[in-house]
Amino acid sequence: MILFDLKCENNHVFEAWFKDSEAFKKQSERGIVTCPSCNSSAVTKALMAPNVSLANSEKKRASTSDLAKAQKLLSEAQKVVEDNFDYVGKDFAKEARKIHYGESDKKNIYGEATEKDSKRLKEEGIAFNQIPWKPKADA
């Protein structure tokens, strides 16, 4: 069993248990995963940090590397997005609308949006998430 942090289109965050990622995907596609606050079925997985228990002496040492761990998690999340989503660049808001309104096939996308575009997408009820993005290092 896996405990996922979930987030609905209204930004309510909650937890739910699933057999595995595939079980979440299937239940979500069937619309049976719903937000306990607003009953929305537009639910996605939220970014999660692993739950690791440390002894007291290790906690002090670990706190000095918290930033490095956070940066590593962000890099891993970014890689997952880059490997599994289509990059649409500055057309993110436009493409998200097309998908939301059925003008384009449903697919995972990522790109760039201004604060104004993000606010409008939220007002229209279009579900999306924002994550900090690290620029690629020059090769």
- For residue 58, give Cα distances in angstroms to 61, 66, 78: 5, 12, 28
Q: Which residues pair with 15 in a beta bridge?
A: 5
Q: How far is CA 91 from the centre of its chain?
A: 19
**pTM check: above 0.75:** no
- Percent pLDDT > 90 in the chain is 39
pLDDT for res 139: 45
pLDDT attached to residue 71: 81
The C-alpha atoms of residue 139 and residue 80 are separated, in whole angstroms, by 20
Over range 15-38, report the average pLDDT.
89
Mean pLDDT, all residues of the chain: 84
Could you give the CA distance from residue 120 to residue 44 in angstroms, rounded to a whole number? Answer: 19
Instruction: Report, as an integer, the average pLDDT of 66-83.
Output: 85
CB neighbour burial string for 95-122, b if at least 16 within 10 angstroms, e if fewer: bbbebbeeeeeeeebbbebeeebbeebe
Integer Cα distance of 110 and 63 in angstroms = 32
Task: State the pLDDT confidence band at 52, using cuts at 50, 70 and 90.
Answer: low
Which stretches within 1-139 are classed as H helix?
Answer: 21-29, 56-63, 66-84, 92-100, 115-123
- Check residue 103 and give its pLDDT: 95
Alpha carbon distance 125, 15 (integer Å): 22
